[in-house]
Amino acid sequence: MFARPGDAPARLGVSLATLDDRNAIRPAVHIWVSEKLDWLMLDDGLPQYREGFVG
């Protein structure tokens, strides 16, 4: 349910499936799009990164 990357101790990932209200958090970027399903279209105008995002 949670993930903390070893190389980025200030970051913490939370699985959206664990939230009571799935609309409570809006995405800011798409990461690891090089691994997305071929049929998935990301056309919402958000920045896309082939791999991880460091920002």
34 — phi, psi (to 5°)?
Answer: -65, -15
Residue 8 and residue 25 in contact, taking contact as beta carbons nearer than 8 Å: no
Q: pLDDT for 6-53, tens place per residue? A: 665 566 666 767 778 878 878 888 888 999 999 999 999 999 999 877
CA gap 9, 6 in Å, rounded: 6
pTM over 0.75: no
> Mapping DSSP to helix (H, G, I), strand (E, B) and coil, where does residue 17 land?
helix
Q: How far from the centroid of its chain's Cα atoms is residue 10's Cα?
A: 16
- pLDDT band for position 3 (50/70/90)? low
Residue 30 and residue 42 in contact, taking contact as beta carbons nearer than 8 Å: yes
